Amino acid sequence: HTGERPYACADCSKSFRHKGSLIKHQRIHTGKRPFTCTDCGKSFIQKQNLTWHRCLHTGEQPFACADCGKRF
């Protein structure tokens, strides 16, 4: 709650509260994309992006509109 951001990026000086956030951010500079789709080979910086991408292959529609119930 102090607002302290002790983890600073060596490339652009952007700072973060959590070390994990800095590690994710640094992938922008390094180009590292450690999460790869086993179906098509596309790779992602964040695991969550791969999870969403996998829905394209599986046809899964994990979200529903609160108003009409239509899934997407």
Judgement on whether residues 28 and 15 belong to the same structural domain of the protein: yes
**Token output for 32:** 């590292």
Distance CA 51, CA 37 (A): 9
Judgement on whether residues 26 and 37 belong to the same structural domain of the protein: no
CATH number, domain containing residue 20: 3.30.160
Distance CA 36, CA 33 (A): 7
pLDDT in tens, 26-61: 999 999 999 999 999 999 999 999 999 999 999 999
What is the model's pLDDT at position 51? 95
- Number of structural domains, the chain? 2
Range of the domain at 9: 1-32
Judgement on whether residues 10 and 25 belong to the same structural domain of the protein: yes
What is the model's pLDDT at position 1? 78
Contact 53, 43 (CB under 8 A): no
pLDDT in tens, 6-32: 999 999 999 999 999 999 999 999 999
Q: At a CB cut-off of 8 Å and minimum separation 6, what does 50 contact? A: 35, 36, 37, 43, 44
Judgement on whether residues 55 and 26 belong to the same structural domain of the protein: no
Judgement on whether residues 44 and 70 belong to the same structural domain of the protein: yes
